[in-house]
Amino acid sequence: MTFRNFLLFLVVATATVVTATTPDFPRDAAGQERLWNETIQAILEFKKEFDAHPELYQAEDGDALLTVPEIIARYGYPWEAHNVTTEDGYILQLHRIPYGLGCGEGAGKRVAYLQHGLMGDSSNWIITGNKSRGLGVAKYHVFCMTAFELVDACYDVWMGNYRGNTYSRLHTDPNKADFYDFSWHEMGMYDIPASIDYILTATSAPSLYYVGHSMGCTAFFVAMSERPEYNAKVKLMSALAPATFMPNTKSLVVRLLLGLMPIFDRPPYMLVLPIEWTERLAAALCKTGSPTQPLCAMILFLIGGDNAPQLDLVSLPAILGHSPAGSSSKTFLHYGQSILSGEFRKYDYGAEKNPEHYDGALTPPAYDLKKITTKIAIYYGPNDFLADRVDVIRSVREFGNGTVVNLREIEDPLFNHLDFVWAKDQHKLVNEVVMDFMEEFTNPTPTTTAPSGGITLGGGGVAMWVVVLLVTGFWGMKSSI
């Protein structure tokens, strides 16, 4: 076991103790039992089906090892890769699908810019494909390909990659020592503005449609409040599970990591979970038929909330072959600060160092959400452990009046944070709803839609700790062989 992996193991163990003693740790026994039951049952039933008809569950395991352009090409769509240099020298890779089925090339198309969340990359918008699996009552259809759906609806689609992920690890200064000294603050200040400018120049469009998932929203709000001139360049922002205020975050894994913050909160900031470290391992451990597959599902549920019926186990190797795509430790720390402070504000360097960064102020200044004038449509999941409903609603109140033009709860009581990326029914539950509103917003008809109600709280089982602990240790040992 390498030192780094030993440290990770130690961290999770420590965090376990910290989390178990956190007063707002979900202790709803019925919720925990339901989660545990449902997950185990779903996985056992799936295993039975799979053993009976393995040929009906052909996975795109190969996608785990393909790049995003290679996957786009495999589906028969055209692609382009563009290098964008930010004002502070980071080189980001944008992936473009310029046109699709039934919509040829040509000017005057709507332009969509999709931005992934923490530890994601551009693969988040194309992974898992469009196919039926299984037989009879066990038959299901998986369809989560946001980018292709937008392309087929005649959008010119651009997918961003934040600094630090698989596709964006270059800098104009190849010897830059503090490469990972950034958080979502810098992504908002530089990555999003640079990408928007590049896309608008390349397409000659006056403005674009932005779609962000989680940190794709966090950094967007930083960009629009700190550099308000960019508001006019975005026609509509569709916010999927926006992470802004975070005090009600229920995610166990995230709460665990809070305990580790003091250890990591100092330079040099480092790269967390680079893809090279996990892709082959994930493909092997999470493959259908592998006895460790349920653990892979459990880890995802612990992070973003549980929704066994919507997780396509067959797609796990492809998903985990791309995500986690890596980010800086400072990005995690900045989120940790949001959870602890309950505020949406700049990086906290501590009372001693803050004055140097913030004109003598002891605490970091809050982002001024009132400066955001781009119209925002917000979509949230009722069982999202990270972007909690209460926090999402608070952000709606903090935006200026008239800024939020749509607020929708996804119509699945178990819908969680990561379902926005790869739920089996993403097409019906998310993409149709989001794209219908984009159309409605652009060409309004007299009818309006009201937000739906209802809220279900999910929980996490203490028993799952043990699982996480074991898996982390296992990964650690395995990776050092």
Ligand X SMILES: *[C@@H]1O[C@H](CO)[C@@H](O)[C@H](O)[C@H]1NC(C)=O
Catalytic site residues?
214, 417
Rounded to the nearest whole angstrom, what is the least distance from the CB of residue 72 to ligand X in the complex? 13
How many chain residues interact with ligand X (CB under 6 A)?
A: 13
Q: Is 309 in the site for ligand X (CB under 6 A)?
A: no
Q: Which of residues 400-429 bind ligand X (CB under 6 A)?
A: 400-401
Nearer to ligand X, 226 or 398 (CB): 398
How far lies 244's CA from each of 358, 447, 470, in Å? 21, 30, 32
Report how far Cα 272 is from the mean position of its chain's Cα atoms: 15
User: For 204-245, where are the alpha helices, taking DSSP H only?
Assistant: 215-226
Q: Which of residues 128-187 bind ligand X (CB under 6 A)?
A: 130, 143, 148, 152, 170
Rounded to the nearest whole angstrom, what is the least distance from the CB of residue 148 to ligand X in the complex? 5
Q: Binding pattern to ligand X, positions 342-371, x when CB under 6 A?
A: ----------------------------x-
Rounded to the nearest whole angstrom, what is the least distance from the CB of residue 29 to ligand X in the complex? 9
Q: Which of residues 97-126 bind ligand X (CB under 6 A)?
A: none
Nearer to ligand X, 368 or 440 (CB): 368
Nearer to ligand X, 130 or 480 (CB): 130
Backbone angles phi, psi at 204, to 5 degrees: 55, 20
Rounded to the nearest whole angstrom, what is the least distance from the CB of residue 453 to ligand X in the complex? 22
Rounded to the nearest whole angstrom, what is the least distance from the CB of residue 101 to ligand X in the complex? 7
What are the tokens at 235? 């026609």
Nearer to ligand X, 34 or 357 (CB): 34
Q: Are 188 and 217 in contact (CB under 8 A)?
A: no
Measure the CA–CA gap between 90 and 135, rounded to whole angstroms: 48
Q: Which of residues 373-402 bind ligand X (CB under 6 A)?
A: 400-401
CA angle 355, 359, 363 (to 5 degrees): 50
Nearer to ligand X, 18 or 396 (CB): 396
DSSP calls for 42-109 = HHHHHHHHHHH-GGG----GGGGGS-HHHHHHHTT---EEEEEE-TTSEEEEEEEE--BTTB-S-TT-
Measure the CA–CA gap between 95 and 83, rounded to whole angstroms: 9
Q: Tell me which DSSP letter residue 269 carries.
A: P
End-to-end alpha carbon distance in the chain: 8
Q: Which of residues 267-296 bind ligand X (CB under 6 A)?
A: none
Q: Is 33 in the site for ligand X (CB under 6 A)?
A: yes
Contact range with ligand X by CB under 6 A, out of 26-34, 174-182, 201-209, 381-389 = 26-34
Contact range with ligand X by CB under 6 A, out of 31-39, 293-301, 347-355, 412-420 = 31-39
Q: Which residues of 44-76 are buried (b: 16+ CB within 10 A; e: fewer)?
A: eebbebbeeeeeebebbbebbebbbbebbeeee
Rounded to the nearest whole angstrom, what is the least distance from the CB of residue 114 to ligand X in the complex? 16
Q: Would you call 358 helix, strand, or coil by DSSP? A: coil
Rounded to the nearest whole angstrom, what is the least distance from the CB of residue 59 to ligand X in the complex? 17
Contact range with ligand X by CB under 6 A, out of 30-38, 281-289, 345-353, 464-472 = 30-38
| Near ligand X by CB under 6 A: residue from 22, 83, 449, 480 | 83
- The set of residues, in sequence order, having a beta carbon less than 8 Å from that of 262 and lying 6+ positions away, is none
Contact range with ligand X by CB under 6 A, out of 27-35, 105-113, 206-214, 352-360 = 27-35
> Which of 461, 188, 474 lies closest to 346 in space, CA to CA?
188
Identity at 89, one-letter amino acid code: G
| Near ligand X by CB under 6 A: residue from 11, 34, 134, 181 | 34
Nearer to ligand X, 38 or 226 (CB): 38
Nearer to ligand X, 126 or 468 (CB): 126
User: For 187-238, where are the alpha helices, taking DSSP H only?
Assistant: 192-203, 215-226
Measure the CA–CA gap between 184 and 328, rounded to whole angstroms: 9
| Near ligand X by CB under 6 A: residue from 17, 22, 24, 37 | 37
Q: Is 201 in the site for ligand X (CB under 6 A)?
A: no
Tokens 């140097």 locate to 356
Rounded to the nearest whole angstrom, what is the least distance from the CB of residue 389 to ligand X in the complex? 21
Nearer to ligand X, 4 or 370 (CB): 370
**Which parts of this chain interact with ligand X (CB under 6 A)?**
30, 33-34, 37, 83, 130, 143, 148, 152, 170, 370, 400-401
